[in-house]
Structure 1
Amino acid sequence: MSSVTNSDALVGRPIPVWDQNTPSQASDHAKANGNVVRTRFPPEPNGYLHIGHAKSMNMNFSLAFEKLGVAPENRETYFRYDDTNPEKESKEYIDSLLNDLTWLGWKPAKTTYSSESFEFLHDCAVKLIKKGLAYVCFLTKEEVEKQREVLKKRVAVIAKGGDPDKQCESVSTDIFPGKYRNTSIADNLRLFEDMRKGKFPEGHCTLRMKMDITSPNPNMHDSMAYRIKYTRHPHAGDGWCMYPSYDFTHCIIDSLEGIDYSICTLEFETRRESYYWLLWALDLYKPRVYEMSRLNIAHTVLSKRRLLKLVESKTVRGWDDPRMPTISGLRRRGYTKECLNTFCNDIGATRNMNLVEVNRLEQAARVCLADVARRAMAVVDPVKVTISNFSGESKTCTVPNFPQNPALGSHDVIFTPTFYIDSADVKPEADANFFGFAPTQLVGLKYADIKVRCDEVKVSGGKVVEVTCSVTDEDTKPKSYLTWVSAVHNIPCEVRKYDHLFSVPEPSDKWEEEVNASSEVVYSSALVDPSVASLCNAGLTDKWKSNNAFQFERIGYFVVDDDTTYVAETGKGKIVFNSIVSLKEDVAKTTKKDATASAAADAQRQRQAILKARLSISKSDFFKKVSDYAGMFSKYDEEGFPTHDAKGEEVKKSAAKKLKKELAKHEKALANAAKAKK
């Protein structure tokens, strides 16, 4: 690729032989692409895009080319719907993906669907069968799981230099290597055609790739290529009753579309072997694969499964709830495309796994909104104030729309002797460290050019309900100038203030119990000055675009919500505002953040200590000595794997599956520790 000036920028782990293009493949690709360097963004339409996808878009549409040194005129990115699982996909999700991509400002060179290549994928499967590299398998799900357990044990013995035929328990050849693995090519072609014609029940059989069952990589243990699903496809329609798997599809489509760099996240790193093996087996062009770290943001989750559960359980208002990390949720919260793209540029893309603090996203919002969010005065939790000696009925005050840029104009608000301030600006007793309304305290009223001294603060039921004050012309300068909203000239509104969706920085497996019950607080009696009326009209809101945002002076940034029904011409209906971000991190928030960071650091140190201690525990003792499993099990098999829980009941298959994953992690940690010692 002559257009790349820094070819070492995106280099992944080599896979000898399989990842190499033949001279003719490289030549054909170079002729087809010319000077173009092509990437792709291939989400599955099984949910809404989230901020992790925003990072991926930023990488595939921009940052990758910057790292590679590709000139703008030579850049191409395909937007591909990776739509091979019709049970979880829908037209709603398909539309949402395109809307979010468009809103963020990315312009793909081409939009494609994997489903539009189903015929080509089918032909590839037939080619594999003819080469003796794929077979129709009738093993049940339970039998396949048993087969994978056997393969895992045999691979472990081989890795230690042992003889698996002698050291592993004997199993039926139906399971290992599998009674369907050596079916004739002619029979496999006939059976695969029967699958396509719908002659088998759903789930009755699959097409599996005949890969390498001795490989230490489980992804090479005859991965599934096709499965039967009698489900209508939301894009392809009714033409198919069997569908290709992700592992079979994405590498073939990458090759078919002439992708130069296939960029994914690190959890796909173990699929490099299967990715390149399949392209090698099919004699297809092989793109370069690069894995980057997945985005992890504190106090949130980015798993589509978990996000879907939040929606289905009505924990949130929907996929576009302002607390959700989805692009739709962030847009509704008031984050603009500039905010998100600035954030993605700031964090960059590396292979280092880390937890990104929310304040980095918040700061990006402050920077981007400062010059575009028009000023207004509002009170979230109103307290009535009356001036006892005000001369006249009202006073017109001029307020700049953007104080830092007078050229952008101003608006008028009317001051009256009765007005409202926010409850946060009142205390029932004088306090030398408090500069708002308190008995005998001097306060300035912003834009009204008036100084008042607080005479009385009325309290009812422990809550401040009213303030009385008087105008003073004394020379003393007030320590604060407060914002206000006239009691006569105002617009009632609803303000929704948002906090983290989760109460802990890193939600655990018990994440549903860690949802922050105070993540949304609704103030239904808020008031805003009337100057915003024309900009808050319900006709201006659009769920797929950014609604108007304001800086409520001294409070923070707020955006008009889609639930707004207000009609400026009639003055009827309701305005709803969502909090975006505070003007700056105040002392209380900073202290809270520091405490959270300290707690997170302590938790990290504890985790590291626990992991270090675990390295002294053998595989066979893992579930007996690790504190997480203390008292959970009463019986174990000969290898120390739990078979019965504390009550004496057999461990369920679903629980055993999770336990096996944890044991695999422990085995990997032990192996890495052993390598490090060497």
Structure 2
Amino acid sequence: MSQVDTEVRPSNFIRNIIDEDLETGKHTKVHTRFPPEPNGFLHIGHAKSICLNFGIAQDYQGQCNLRFDDTNPEKEDIDYVHSIQEDVQWLGFQWAGEICYSSNYFDKLHQYAVELINKNLAYVCFLNSEETREYRGTLKVPGKNSPYRDSSVVDNLALFERMRLGEFKEGECALRAKIDMASPFMCMRDPIIYRVRFAHHHQTGDKWCIYPMYDFTHCISDAIENITHSLCTLEFQDNRRLYDWVLDHLDDFQADNRTRQYEFSRLNLEYTLMSKRKLNDLVVNNVVTGWDDARMPTIAGLRRRGYTAASIREFCKRIGVTKQENMIEVAMLDACIREELNEHAPRAMAVINPVKIIIENYPEAKIEEIMAPVHPNIEEMGKRPLAFSREIFIDADDFREEANKKYKRLVQGKEVRLRNAYVIKSERCDKDYEGNITTIYCTYDDETLGKNPSDGRKVKGVIHWVEASTAKNAEFRLFDRLFTDVNPAAADSIEDVLNPNSLVIKQGVVEANLMHAKAEKTYQFEREGYFCADNKDSSCDHLVFNLTVPLRDTFA
């Protein structure tokens, strides 16, 4: 199996290990896996793992399995299975062969548990959960043996069979590995490897009422699938000892080139929760509208907001793979999508806070067509038609009755240029009883169409606009960070750090070309930001645009 050219591939400690394994002949191929639990939607942290596992497999011409570690049926759902498959493919990756499930191996896992019992390395324990915690000890105090630890092999085989047959209640007993209750590593203090659960499983139905624990299942699943490099995050570092112990004591997995576990730092992103449990709480408590809410860090949420697969892959590339825990600035993620969209996103005009302008010296019945570039720097993208008439909308923030010289937009008695159109001059305005401006009356210079007016007059200010009669009403969802604290996971209460302005909804107008805007296709709304049509709520009859990311301080 050939390796990737070291001059073009990124380098990190995992790739260095793989290079050495291939060079020494320990492995002749690379086989990784992405093993999500189907108990929620994937988030940006999972994207890092996806890019790592599938990326390594691609770079080394190997394989990467998609395996669902589905050992906890009470919290799992087939909808999560489907969403995870969709997210992996949307990110640009394809798994090797058929989708794998840990539940495919339940028969073998049961056999391996029986093997451990036969070797006097597992026993059925009847301590309740409180007693189990007490016997387990603490980081400073060693645990003590369960009174059931020395039961005979014959008795344990019989009890485990009764567990399988459903003769014990949930929580009444569990099968534990017999390792070392004095171990400095808590995970090695006779961990539970099977428990009783009377729960319907989305793959195996009601066949089982005992389910294996994750730590017992994961290593065996890796070994069955001939995974060469099992990559996981640092919180599983201590569990590597249990990973190896299980395989060390099963006859089928004694090869020198069997799977090994390697740990890397998980993604910690500013202002973002990375716990599926806590994200699920946001959904259940209606803090957000669902797992795919555009404020959520889920891949589905980012996609709905207009982030592209390429931008997420680039982000994962930039943050790299290390063993060092750190907090990544959310600005890095924003930069990745902004850079891509600035280069590729088509331009359009939208007015989020519209106020009407009447151009009094423009012919009343006339509507002309102005051609504007789809992208200012890519001629191949062509031009788009813009209607122009006597009545247009501009943003209310782009007009002042009085302003200083730093204000480069429309001021009463002064001129401004309309993007791709004419120079106009404000003459007067109407207000409502509360003093809000309702209509601005202007005049225009019919010789100033385009960027190079014939009279050579220089007008510094340029503002965007939308023609009134062809304008399409649109809802704009302006998103901000969901949390006000840089590390919301550390907060005593999530409610205390929720941003009350994480979503602001505005009603405005867009140019007619956006009538059939494709869901998730992102546009640069000139001078406003990058927006995409919502993939659930937007339609021709009700346009809804989500803010993907704002423009920089200087207009792109």
Give the 3-state SS of the residue equivalent to 1:10 in structure 2: helix
Runs ≥4 residues deviating over 6 A: 4-8
Q: Which residues in structure 2 correspond to 1:242-281 (within 5 Å)?
A: 242-281=210-249
CA deviation string 1:229-254 (max 9, x = no partner): 00010111111000000011101111
Whether the aligned pair in 1 keeps the contact of 2:144 and 2:182 (CA below 8 Å) is no
Whether the aligned pair in 2 keeps the contact of 1:12 and 1:289 (CA below 8 Å) is no
CA distance in 2, matches of 1:397, 1:58: 44
Task: Could you tell me which runs of 5 or more consecutive residues in structure 2 were left unpaired when the two chains were aligned.
Answer: 448-454
Instruction: Give the C-alpha shift of residue 303 in structure 1.
Output: 0.5
Matched, 1:211 2:192: no
The residue number in structure 2 matching 1:402 is 375
Q: Which structure would you say has the larger RCO, counting Cα contacts within 8 Å and 6 or more residues apart? A: 2
The one-letter amino acid paired with 1:532 is L
Give the 3-state SS of the residue equivalent to 1:79 in structure 2: strand
CA distance in 2, matches of 1:585, 1:240: 59
CA deviation string 1:452-473 (max 9, x = no partner): 1222244443533322222247
The one-letter amino acid paired with 2:512 is P
Give the 3-state SS of the residue equivalent to 1:419 in structure 2: strand
Select 1:487's aligned residue among 444, 447, 468.
468
Distance 1:8 1:317, change over 3 A: closer
The residue number in structure 1 matching 2:136 is 148
Matched, 1:119 2:100: no
Matched, 1:421 2:389: no
Q: Which residues in structure 2 correspond to 1:179-198 (within 5 Å)?
A: 179-198=147-166
Matched, 1:301 2:244: no
Select 1:89's aligned residue among 49, 57, 76.
76
CA distance in 2, matches of 1:488, 1:11: 60
Whether the aligned pair in 2 keeps the contact of 1:444 and 1:451 (CA below 8 Å) is yes
CA distance in 1, matches of 2:501, 2:189: 47
Whether the aligned pair in 2 keeps the contact of 1:335 and 1:580 (CA below 8 Å) is yes
CA deviation string 1:90-135 (max 9, x = no partner): 1111111111111111111132000000001001100000000000
CA distance in 1, matches of 2:368, 2:139: 81
Distance 1:109 1:184, change over 3 A: same
Instruction: Give the C-alpha shift of residue 306 in structure 1.
Output: 0.8
Instruction: Give the C-alpha shift of residue 65 in structure 1.
Output: 5.5
CA deviation string 1:201-244 (max 9, x = no partner): 11110000001112100110000000000001011111100000
Q: 1 or 2, which has the higher helix percentage?
A: 1
Instruction: Give the C-alpha shift of residue 580 in structure 1.
Output: 0.4
The one-letter amino acid paired with 1:99 is E
Instruction: Give the C-alpha shift of residue 3 in structure 1.
Output: 5.5
The residue number in structure 2 matching 1:583 is 551
CA distance in 2, matches of 1:335, 1:153: 47
CA distance in 1, matches of 2:5, 2:417: 61
Q: Which residues in structure 2 correspond to 1:128-167 (within 5 Å)?
A: 128-149=116-137, 152-155=139-142
Whether the aligned pair in 1 keeps the contact of 2:12 and 2:322 (CA below 8 Å) is no
The one-letter amino acid paired with 2:49 is S
Q: What RMSD in Å do the two structures reach over aligned CA positions?
A: 2.4
Instruction: Give the C-alpha shift of residue 146 in structure 1.
Output: 0.7
Instruction: Give the C-alpha shift of residue 442 in structure 1.
Output: 1.4
Select 2:542's aligned residue among 558, 561, 574.
574
Task: Could you tell me which runs of 5 or more consecutive residues in structure 1 were left unpaired when the two chains were aligned.
Answer: 14-20, 156-174, 542-546, 568-572, 588-678
Output the TM-score relative to the length of structure 1.
0.74
Give the 3-state SS of the residue equivalent to 1:535 in structure 2: coil
Whether the aligned pair in 2 keeps the contact of 1:428 and 1:458 (CA below 8 Å) is no
Q: State the identity as a percent.
A: 41
CA distance in 2, matches of 1:551, 1:411: 14
Distance 1:481 1:255, change over 3 A: same
Whether the aligned pair in 1 keeps the contact of 2:144 and 2:181 (CA below 8 Å) is no
Whether the aligned pair in 2 keeps the contact of 1:430 and 1:440 (CA below 8 Å) is no
Output the TM-score relative to the length of structure 2.
0.90
The residue number in structure 2 matching 1:432 is 405
CA distance in 1, matches of 2:505, 2:493: 27
Give the 3-state SS of the residue equivalent to 1:102 in structure 2: helix
The residue number in structure 2 matching 1:319 is 291
Q: Which residues in structure 2 correspond to 1:290-369 (within 5 Å)?
A: 290-369=262-341
The one-letter amino acid paired with 1:553 is E
Give the 3-state SS of the residue equivalent to 1:177 in structure 2: coil
Give the 3-state SS of the residue equivalent to 1:384 in structure 2: strand
Select 2:13's aligned residue among 9, 12, 18.
9
CA distance in 1, matches of 2:250, 2:371: 72
The residue number in structure 1 matching 2:450 is none
CA distance in 2, matches of 1:12, 1:307: 35
Instruction: Give the C-alpha shift of residue 475 in structure 1.
Output: 5.2
